[in-house]
Amino acid sequence: MIASDPYSTFNATRYVFLVIALGLYLPCLNYTWWSIPATALTLPLLFYRSKCIYTSRSYSQYCTYFTFQMFFMFSLLSGAFTFAIGTQHFDWQTSSLAALCSPALTFITIYLISRIKITPPPYEIRNDRVHSTSHKKTTVNAAVWSGVSASGAGALFPLFGEFPKTTLIGSILFPSVIALGTWRTLAGLAQLKSEEKRKGVRYTFSNLEEIQAIRARSWAARLFILLNDAISKPR
């Protein structure tokens, strides 16, 4: 299952969000009109992150955001690389279609994985808290993953001239391969959410007190709570 330690919960999600925001706004250097779509994508993601990290007590909601953010980043990097190298040998319409194939295939892969039932599940519920029973927990070092993705893109780029179709296919499939590599975590999360829905409950973090203590010290958490309360206040 996904780790809920302070680094994974607060730092890793922050760094991955910054990588995504950077990737979304970089095209604005050449296409000023892209700033509106980039902002339209970034602001909801920022709000979703803030809600899950700073106020929510739901472990499954945090994990859902965590996985969504990670695969959004992988699909964004894969799509950008696919489009960049595709335009060198194909027209922009074909390159755009190839770039969109990456998130589409990733979504299908994750959906199929979520249908898998694991027995016994990789978690157990004690006092309405989710405790991982797997030996490994999914943690994230955003800098490492971003570096690996960039290095992989750099390594594949010279191959494109010699094997354009093979390189494009590899780039498109990259996020789906990662999903297959983390299938137990994804299937376990889907199983947990299904159990919550069936029982009509929301299970919380195993280390809830630690997370709440960090939230109480965080100026960003306090600011978001104030803004959220102001927006949600009935008029």
In the prediction, which pLDDT does 231 show? Answer: 78
Q: What confidence tens digit (pLDDT) does each residue in 8-56 have?
A: 889 889 999 999 999 999 989 888 999 999 999 999 999 999 999 999 9
In the prediction, which pLDDT does 156 show? Answer: 56
Mean of the pLDDT values across residues 159-173?
A: 73
Mean of the pLDDT values across residues 191-204?
A: 95
In the prediction, which pLDDT does 159 show? Answer: 55
Q: Contact at 8 Å (CB) between 208 and 129?
A: yes
Give the count of beta carbons closer than 10 Å to the beta carbon of residue 40. Answer: 10
Q: What confidence tens digit (pLDDT) does each residue in 51-83 have?
A: 999 999 999 999 999 999 999 999 998 888 888
Q: Residue 142: pLDDT band by 50, 70, 90 thresholds?
A: very low
Per-residue pLDDT at 163 exceeds 70: no
Mean of the pLDDT values across residues 192-216?
A: 94
Q: Residue 138: pLDDT band by 50, 70, 90 thresholds?
A: low
Burial class (CB within 10 angstroms; exposed 0-12, middle 13-18, buried 19+) of 207 = middle
Name the residue with higher pLDDT: 168 or 162: 168
Mean of the pLDDT values across residues 171-184?
A: 91
**Identity of the amino acid at 47:** F
- Range with top average pLDDT, 89-98, 122-131, 154-163: 122-131
Q: Residue 160: pLDDT band by 50, 70, 90 thresholds?
A: low
Name the residue with higher pLDDT: 221 or 85: 221
Burial class (CB within 10 angstroms; exposed 0-12, middle 13-18, buried 19+) of 218 = middle
Residue percentage of the chain with pLDDT more than 70: 86
Q: What is the DSSP string of the chain?
A: -B--SHIIIIIIHHHHHHHHHHHHHGGGGT-GGGHHHHHHHHHHHHHHHHIIIII--BHHHHHHHHHHHHHHHHHHHHHHHHHHHHTTTS-HHHHHHHHHHHHHHHHHHHHHHHTPPPSS-SEEEETTEEEE-SS--B---HHHHHHHHHHHHHHHHHHHTTSHHHHHHHHHHHHHHHHHHTHHHHHHHHHHHHHHHHHT---B-TTHHHHHHHHHH-HHHHHHHHHHHHHHS--
Give the count of beta carbons closer than 10 Å to the beta carbon of residue 100. Answer: 15
Main-chain dihedrals φ then ψ at residue 41, nearest 5 degrees: -85, -35
Mean per-residue pLDDT of the chain = 85
Q: What confidence tens digit (pLDDT) does each residue in 122-136 have?
A: 899 999 999 988 655
Q: Residue 95: pLDDT band by 50, 70, 90 thresholds?
A: confident
Q: pTM for this one?
A: 0.84
Q: Contact at 8 Å (CB) between 186 and 110?
A: yes
